[in-house]
DNA sequence: ATATGGTTTAACCATTTTGTTAATTGCAAA
DNA sequence: TTTGCAATTAACAAAATGGTTAAACCATAT
């Protein structure tokens, strides 16, 4: 017998499973695997704690689901580097736009991933292998090609990547601190910071560092 | 009766209280207040769990002590901006040297502080008030003075501060990720990254951004 | 109407974790 | 040597937390 339409699993809307996943994302991002409390997740989702186990069996499995989703989205951002039709700088600019919009939506993401790598490098390795499938992490590779064919200046590609990631992700991660710190100096985070400004600032950095 | 010398509180050396505080710092930095386990702290310090309560009464009070210490050291780094005898750039370069060495020693510090601000803005406000006493947070103030008297280029001071903090603290925070990511691209974190390189890189950024 | 089966809940249980207590150790003053 | 007191410990109690169960709920098919 076929189930009626409104009883089928409806992910993406406000089905219970989705509510739980959203709540879990929020709480896990804030407190990590150890620090998160099942009751806290249940309260955030507005449901009974037993339902968490009904849908996800246990805490670790739930965490895995959240983490896998986060990781997949994270790696999607790297796809642009595989597009060899575009110039190195063009690819970098697109990446900057995408990754900053991504972090604006998931400010805790990088910390979440960093913590997980630290806690469990082996499992992470395996997950990444699944997540990226046949894609490759090409940022550095693309840079070094660009240097060889004279498209960009000769730079320290590893340090460039580190600087770039720092500029793009830390502002969102540290927004509570910046909010506070700016207010103490007579500035206003909401006014003085936004994604568009940051994009421009990072692009300036890239232009200065790679431009010939 | 006066206590014998070797029985007086000896902070700064390997007294029990200090051992506990060091262990607590390590564990709290790694897992946060919720995620940290008292037993884990006791094991790390190599003492009985009951001693933790003997010295610090309970988990929260212990956490407070650790956090207060962290905060004080963090704010110390800002003192250099009060030295009006030095040029703006000179002060920035000194700050960069200091803060990067600081983060090299306490890589989790910024995250620790960020999380705390997020969890409890009011208490943080109060703590900062104590920590900075009559000092003032001057980075932005110093920059705007420098712009007025033509010492540096006219820039967006808030964004500059955000970029600067990002470049200095994120690499340490995210080192597990960078280690992993670089390895996947045929590089080696230990070889390709060190504090001196980072200092130089950040100074280049400052020179480019502020230099006339 | 009633039966069916997925969904949701309150009330538990088992384990982990925080916190306490009473006894022991070790060291210095008398 | 004995006494006193802080430091330390093992064992225990209390609270918090993850996980289970059996019953209630509710929409639909018969």
A15 plus A51 within the same structural domain = yes
Give me the percent of chain B exceeding a pLDDT of 90.
61
Q: Are residues B50 and B72 in the same domain?
A: no
Indicate which of B121, B162, B176 best probes the interface with A, i.e. most A CBs within 10 Å of its own CB.
Answer: B162
Query: Do B36 and B107 sit in the same domain of this protein?
Result: no
| Subunit contact B33:A37, Cβ cutoff 8 A | no
Give me chain B's average pLDDT, please. 88
- Across residues B155-171, what is the average pLDDT? 97
Is B2 domain-assigned?
A: no
Closest Cα in chain A, distance from residue B62 (Å): 17
CA dihedral of B135, B141, B146, B152, whole degrees rounded to 10: 120
How sure is the predictor about B147, in pLDDT bands with cuts at 50, 70 and 90? very high
Q: What confidence category does residue B7 fall into, taking pLDDT thresholds of 50, 70 and 90?
A: very low
Position A1 pLDDT exceeds 60:
no
What gap in Å lies between CA A88 and CA B127, rounded to an integer?
47
Q: At A116, is the pLDDT very low, low, confident or very high (cuts 50, 70, 90)? A: confident
Spatial separation of the C-alpha atoms in residues A115 and A99, rounded to whole Å:
19
* CB neighbourhood size of B210 (10 A): 19
Q: Give residue A47's pLDDT.
A: 96
Which residue among B121, B187, B193 places its CB closest to the CB of A140?
Answer: B187
- A202 and A114 within one domain: yes
Residue range B173-190, pLDDT digits in tens: 999 889 988 888 889 999
A1 located within any domain: no
Q: Residue A38's domain spans which residues?
A: 7-57
Q: Which of B116, B107, B202 is nearest to B161 (CA)?
A: B202
Question: Same domain, yes or no, for A22 and A73?
Answer: no
CB contact under 8 A, B177 and A37: no
Output the pTM of the full model. Answer: 0.86
Q: Are residues A52 and A86 in the same domain?
A: no
Q: Same structural domain for residues A52 and A68?
A: no
Least confidently predicted of A85-99, B1-15, B77-91, B137-151:
B1-15
Q: Please tell me whether residues B158 and B76 are part of one structural domain.
A: yes
At residue A115, the pLDDT reads 85
Count of structural domains, chain B: 2
- Domain of A71, CATH number, reads 1.10.357.10
Whose CA is closest to A201, among A175, A163, A156? Answer: A163
DSSP sequence for A45-84:
HTS-HHHHHHHHSSHHHHHHHHHHHHHHHHHHGGGGGG-T
B22 and B87 inside one domain: no
Q: How far apart are CA B193 and CA B178, in angstroms?
A: 10
Residues B115, B180 share a domain: yes
Same domain, A138 and A92: yes
Within a domain: B1: no
Residue with the bigger pLDDT between A178 and A8: it is A178
Is B72 in the same domain as B25?
no
Residues listed for chain A: 212
Q: Which of B137, B165, B177 sits opposite A170 (nearest CB)?
A: B165
A134 versus A87: the higher-pLDDT residue is A87
CATH number of the domain to which A35 belongs: 1.10.10.60
| Domain end marker among B38, B57, B76 | B57
In a domain, B159, yes or no: yes
Nucleic strand D interface residues, CB < 7 Å:
A 1, 4, 6-7, 36-39, 49-50, 53, 57-60; B 9, 16, 34, 47-51, 54
pLDDT interval class at B87 (50, 70, 90): very high
């Amino acid at each position: 017998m076929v189930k009626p339409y409104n009883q089928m699993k409806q992910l993406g809307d406000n089905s219970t499973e989705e509510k739980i996943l959203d709540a879990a994302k929020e709480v896990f991002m804030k407190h990590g695997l150890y620090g998160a409390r099942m009751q806290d997740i249940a309260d955030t989702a507005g449901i009974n704690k037993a339902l968490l186990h009904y849908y996800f069996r246990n805490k670790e499995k739930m965490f895995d689901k959240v983490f896998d989703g986060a990781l997949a989205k994270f790696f999607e951002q790297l796809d642009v580097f595989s597009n060899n039709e575009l110039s190195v700088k063009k690819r970098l600019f697109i990446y900057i736009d995408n990754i900053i919009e991504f972090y604006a939506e998931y400010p805790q993401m990088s910390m979440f991933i960093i913590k997980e790598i630290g806690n469990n490098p082996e499992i992470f390795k395996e997950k990444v292998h699944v997540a990226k499938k046949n894609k490759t992490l090409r940022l550095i590779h693309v840079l070094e090609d660009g240097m060889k064919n004279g498209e960009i200046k000769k730079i320290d590609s590893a340090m460039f990547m580190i600087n770039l990631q720092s500029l793009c992700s830390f502002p969102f991660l540290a927004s509570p601190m910046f909010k506070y710190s700016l207010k103490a100096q007579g500035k206003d985070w909401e006014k003085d910071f936004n994604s568009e400004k940051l994009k421009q600032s990072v692009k300036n950095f890239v232009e200065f560092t790679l431009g010939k």
